[in-house]
A and B are shown apart, each in its own frame.
Chain A
C-alpha cells in the first residue's frame, strides 16, 4: 500500500511568517487531501488536490502527481493556524479510504 511521509514533523513560527509543508507519497494518487486538526481535535478538510494548484485565502496547495509530492503553503501565519496538518491519500488507486501521514505540528507564536 501507499506510504505517506510528511516534513517537517514540527514547525514553530512567529505570527506573520510564511511556511511550506511537504507531503511525499510512494505511489501515484488520485485523491490527495490536506487536513488541519485544531488543538481541540477537530479535523477540517483544507484541500482535495489530486493535481495542480488550489488557493483558499492565505492557504494554497500544489500537487505534482508525476513526482509524487504535494506542498501546502501558509502565508502570513496566525496563531489560529496552530495545530497538526495531515496529508492523506488512498492506499491504492480507486479506493476512497485514506492513509494518513504522521503530520506536521505547527505552532504559531504571537
Chain B
C-alpha cells in the first residue's frame, strides 16, 4: 500500500490569489492523479501528473488554471491559480503502485475562496 500526505490540509484564500498544494507519497508510485471534489459532489479528475513532463489534463481543466509538477516519483504539486469562489472544493491527490492498480488517496486539501 501507499501512504499519501498533503499540505496544507485546509486554507482560506482571497479571490485572485494562487495556492500551491503539495502531495507526498511514502513509496514510489507509477501514477499520480489530482482530483477535485466540489461541495456535496463526487470526485472529478483534474489531471494525471507525469514525472518530469507536462501533466495530462482532462476536459474542462487547463494548465494555466491548474499547473502541476511532478519532479520525482514520490512528490507532486497542484497550483490553483487566480482563484474565485467557484474554486472552493476539496482537492485530493492519489497514486497507485501498479500491480493491482489499487489507488490510494491523500487526506485532501479543503480550500475556501472568499
Interface residues of A, Cβ cutoff 8 Å to B: 31, 33, 35, 41-45, 48, 86, 88, 96-103
Q: B53: CB under 8 A from chain A?
A: no
- Whether A31 and B43, one on each chain, are in contact in the complex, defined by CB atoms closer than 8 angstroms, is no
- Whether B101 and A31, one on each chain, are in contact in the complex, defined by CB atoms closer than 8 angstroms, is yes
CB neighbours (8 Å) of B48 from chain A are: 97
How many A-B residue pairs have C-beta atoms within 8 angstroms? Tell me.
48
CB neighbours (8 Å) of A103 from chain B are: 42
A101, closest chain B residue (CB): B42
Task: Give B94 Cβ to nearest chain A Cβ, in Å.
Answer: 8
Chain B interface size, as a band, is: 20 to 34
Task: Give A34 Cβ to nearest chain B Cβ, in Å.
Answer: 11
| With known contacts A41-B110, A86-B42, A97–B105 Cβ distance under 8 A | no
| With known contacts A101-B42, A102-B42, A103-B42, A33–B108 Cβ distance under 8 A | no
Q: B113: CB under 8 A from chain A?
A: no
CB neighbours (8 Å) of B107 from chain A are: 41-42
- Whether B42 and A42, one on each chain, are in contact in the complex, defined by CB atoms closer than 8 angstroms, is no
CB neighbours (8 Å) of B31 from chain A are: 96-97
CB neighbours (8 Å) of B101 from chain A are: 31, 48, 96
